[in-house]
């Protein structure tokens, strides 16, 4: 972790989580819960949302790493958030990240303190 990564430490509200497939209408969720980043490189998620009538509860602990203000990696078994995210906006109280699920789906997450 770099010194700038310490801005991630704390509890963040997941203000928006969006999944987009090119050529199709995307699915966007607002205020789905919180993610806590701890200074020791671990964290906890408290997320709840429904996709096509299927409720997702993501309360799985995770490990995280900050990579040169460009990427953040989250490692967590069975979580949609477990992947490397590209940092689009990196502000003290607002983060915007993008990633893909390895197919045609793009995820965008916005975090706010």
pLDDT tens profile 52-73: 788 889 998 999 999 988 999 9
d(CA 68, CA 66) in angstroms, rounded, equals: 7
pLDDT tens profile 72-107: 999 998 888 999 999 999 999 999 999 998 888 899
Q: Where in the chain are the domains? A: 3-112
What is 3-112's CATH topology? Answer: Lipocalin (2.40.128)
């Amino acid at each position: 972790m770099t010194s700038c990564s310490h801005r991630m430490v704390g509890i963040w509200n997941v203000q928006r989580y969006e999944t987009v497939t090119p050529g199709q209408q995307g699915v966007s969720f607002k205020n789905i819960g919180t993610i806590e980043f701890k200074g020791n490189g671990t964290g906890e998620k408290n997320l709840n949302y429904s996709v096509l009538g299927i409720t997702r509860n993501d309360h799985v602990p995770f490990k995280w790493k900050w990579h040169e203000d460009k990427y953040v990696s989250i490692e967590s078994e069975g979580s949609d958030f477990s992947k490397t995210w590209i940092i689009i906006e990196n502000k003290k109280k607002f983060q915007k990240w993008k990633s893909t699920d390895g197919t045609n789906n793009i995820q965008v997450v916005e975090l706010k303190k």
